[in-house]
Amino acid sequence: MEKDLTLRLPNGEFFESWEREQVYDRELHVDCNHPAASDDNDGSIDRPFKTINAAAAIATAGTRVLIHGGVYRECVRPARGGDGPDRMISYEAYNNEEVIIKASVEVSNFIKSEGWSLRRFGVTAEGQKEPNIWAVKLNPDDFRGYNPFCAVNILHDRLFIEYDKTDMTTYLLRRGMVFCDGKPLRQVSLYYEMGNQPGTYWVEANGQIVHFRLWNDDDPADHYIELTCREQCFAPEVPFLSYIKVKGLTCAHAATGAPVPQRGSISCYRGHHWIIEDCTIDWSNGVGIDIGNECWHHTFDFNNVLGYDIIRRCKILNVGVCGIAGMFAGNLLIEDNLIEGTGWQKMELSWEAGGIKVHNCKNSVIRRNIFTKTLRADHLWMDVGNENNRITQNLFLDGIEQREAIFIECSRDDVNLIDNNIFWNVEGRFNENDVPKEPGSSGWYKMEETGIVNGYAVYGEGTDRIHMVNNFIGKCRSAGYFAKTVAFRIAGRGGTSREARIWNNIFYDCKEAAIKMPTKHNQAEGNLYLNMPGGYLRILYPAPTECLDLRTWQEFYGFDMTGQEGTLDISVDTDNFTMTIRKSQGMPMFFRRPIAGQNLITSTEEIKKVKAISSVPTDFYGNPVEDEMRLPGPFTELKEELVINIDPRKLV
């Protein structure tokens, strides 16, 4: 059988999956809605267990736990793992039925909120209609052993928070969440804030009473109200369990705290060789899925097995801080997932935020995922010591107040390959009002770049050997690629940010620059630059920054000798995952001196092919590219007025 070329790693070797066809010799059924269901049953289809934990307590290697449709309010605690790739323990939805594991409890013991003032701070004036605020006193039996309304978001490791520039409000809110008909209310810090903000809740100091106000001042008796009462939905009680599969389950309302430690709604709890597929994470307060060592305070031997996990076809939705967390986990395959709405806690300065956040990740493939609407966090953050990873065929879309889409930090010993991805709309982490405005032309004569504007597709900090090949990068608030050196970080040498290879990409409508290289010790070749501002190719050091056009980029550095530039109109529908390219109707954004033998491109028919890069033998769709020449960007064919499907999950 031919090997899948999208699994070829930067070192030329192929990612070898350990996954095997499963063999099960025992089935256990769980059906909370069956009239005869009981945890005293034998787990047959006619005498199913009532709870998943009853099956988890007796499941052994080669057992498939089949969970029938329904809502299960428990945290599943596997007692043991499997014996190997073909003798796993599987927890899966029976016959694709909807199985929802909720870390919440339904409440109905509503009372009118009394004894708290809204007028003291001028929210409600005398004679003004009072807002309709209710309260719930927590049932101790529902919160035995864990009360998230007593615990603040931030966990035990606070060493890395920079208090001088961090708003601690969200860190000190309670971990407990309140849902009305499945939609979350927003927590406020003080009681009176509910007076002018419907759809909110507030927790008393002792964490035993929750006050809330619904939208339109509705009566909660007319709605379905749930309060989170458990930290996780699926997590072993003991670490290091391995060869476990979780398939087709929805895990909702986990009251996890802010990492670290990285404790997810679904947790491998430092195990290895897990498969998590076709699952949904629906509203987790802190972390969606954890697959690594959890934190750096646990003892850990880098020679031991950790990782080798597969996460595929999952929907990871509305996670507060980090969608997938993998500390010291390598040999990962993360594919065909939708990771949407991560970061609503606004805790990016806890340094563990992102759609995916990994440390020391090696020999892994992250492909065909969609990252979208990530707020104040990276879509993908690879922190320290990452080697021989391939990031391919992904969509990185609509980063809201986002500093960069991909952040690769202090990784120095091997190549990390970023190819055939589409980046669109990296908004930048800044406030427009905070950006210094230079009167007239005074800003032209500064010796170095200043200001706080960011918004990058790829940011390499002290990282060598980033290879960016055949990507489409559009609408970055600052630049498509930015890197800086780090003098000292981790034991040994600092990061030089050398030997980046920026080959055959399309850069479109980046607001400051396409490329900001820290020094000249890198390469750029075969790139296409569309709708760019002046000075869009930059060498940052030694000062002063050189802001170049393509002609001087070629003349003084020998970069992009086959590079091209021009104007086209490109749009991306980030809801339906399509791209449209049209012939430019306007003039170039600024006057350019013509390059000898080359006109400014104003039509896709004028784009010239460039030399294909052997390390990337595929296009966006995973098709082999055997020609010596190909178009820059992820597509091997571009036509105007054609709506291009860019949903990578539909490629399989």
Q: Which domains does the chain have, with CATH numbers?
A: 5-21+253-436+457-524 (2.160.20.10), 26-104 (no CATH), 105-228 (2.60.40.1180)
**CB atoms closer than 10 angstroms to residue 583:** 14
User: CB–CB of 316/276 below 8 Å?
Assistant: no
pLDDT at residue 384 above 60?
Answer: yes
Tell me what the mean pLDDT of segment 447-452 comes to.
Answer: 53
pLDDT on residue 2: 81
Question: Which residues make Cβ contacts (< 8 Å) with residue 296, sequence separation at least 6?
Answer: 260, 327, 359
pLDDT on residue 195: 93
User: CB–CB of 184/107 below 8 Å?
Assistant: no
User: CB–CB of 311/334 below 8 Å?
Assistant: yes
pLDDT bracket for residue 159 (50, 70, 90): confident
Over the stretch 560-585, which tens digit does the pLDDT of each residue have? 999 999 999 999 999 999 999 999 87
Q: Are strands 354-359 and 506-508 parallel, antiparallel or unpaired?
A: unpaired
pLDDT on residue 36: 97
User: In which region does residue 156 sit, left (phi positive, over 0), alpha (psi from -120 to 50) or beta (all else)?
Assistant: alpha
Candidates 187, 215, 221; CA nearest to 201 is 187
For the chain, give the mean pLDDT: 92
Per-residue burial over 113-137, b = 16 or more CB atoms within 10 Å of its CB, e = otherwise: beeeebeeeebbeeeeeebbbbbbe
pLDDT at residue 123 above 80?
Answer: no
Over the stretch 65-83, which tens digit does the pLDDT of each residue have? 999 999 999 999 999 999 9
Task: Give the CA count within 13 Å in the CB-facing half-sphere of 421.
Answer: 29
pLDDT on residue 127: 54
Tell me what the mean pLDDT of segment 159-168 comes to.
Answer: 80
Tell me what the mean pLDDT of segment 492-504 comes to.
Answer: 88
Instruction: Tell me the β-bridge partners of 249.
Output: 99
pLDDT on residue 490: 62
| Phi and psi torsions of 17, nearest 5° | -80, 140
Instruction: Tell me the β-bridge partners of 87.
Output: 84
pLDDT at residue 595 above 80?
Answer: no
Per-residue burial over 329-344, b = 16 or more CB atoms within 10 Å of its CB, e = otherwise: bbbbbbbbbbbbbbbb
Could you please report the per-residue DSSP string of 223-246? S-EEEE--S-SB--SSS---SEEE
Which H helix or E strand runs over 396?
A: strand 395-399
CA 114 to chain centre: 41
pLDDT at residue 446 above 80?
Answer: no
Taking the CA atoms of residue 48, residue 50, residue 51 and residue 57 in that order, the dihedral angle to the nearest 10 degrees is -50
For the ranges 86-95, 235-244, 397-406, 482-491, the lowest mean pLDDT is seen at 482-491
Which residues of 31-88 form beta strands (DSSP E)? 63-67, 70-72
Could you please report the per-residue DSSP string of 279-294? -EEEEESSEEEE-S-S
pLDDT bracket for residue 434 (50, 70, 90): low
pLDDT at residue 445 above 70?
Answer: no
CA distance 452 to 432: 10
CA angle, 516 then 518 then 520, to 5° = 100
Question: Which residues make Cβ contacts (< 8 Å) with residue 523, sequence separation at least 6?
Answer: 499, 500, 501, 502, 503, 559
Candidates 161, 515, 169; CA nearest to 352 is 161
pLDDT on residue 509: 97
| Phi and psi torsions of 45, nearest 5° | -65, -25
User: CB–CB of 332/298 below 8 Å?
Assistant: no
Any idea what DSSP says for residue 212?
E
CA distance 416 to 466: 5
Tell me what the mean pLDDT of segment 212-217 comes to.
Answer: 97
CA angle, 173 then 175 then 177, to 5° = 105
pLDDT on residue 51: 98
pLDDT at residue 324 above 90?
Answer: yes
User: CB–CB of 503/452 below 8 Å?
Assistant: no
What is the end-to-end Cα distance of the chain in Å, rounded?
Answer: 17
CA distance 568 to 258: 43
Over the stretch 280-310, which tens digit does the pLDDT of each residue have? 999 999 999 999 999 888 887 666 678 999 9
pLDDT bracket for residue 541 (50, 70, 90): very high
pLDDT at residue 265 above 60?
Answer: yes
CA distance 221 to 446: 63
Q: In Å, how far are 38, 79, 235, 440 from 238, measured between CA atoms?
A: 26, 8, 9, 64
Question: Which residues make Cβ contacts (< 8 Å) with residue 197, sequence separation at least 6?
Answer: 186, 188, 213
For the ranges 260-269, 452-461, 507-516, 582-591, the lowest mean pLDDT is seen at 582-591
For the ranges 37-41, 467-471, 496-500, the lowest mean pLDDT is seen at 496-500
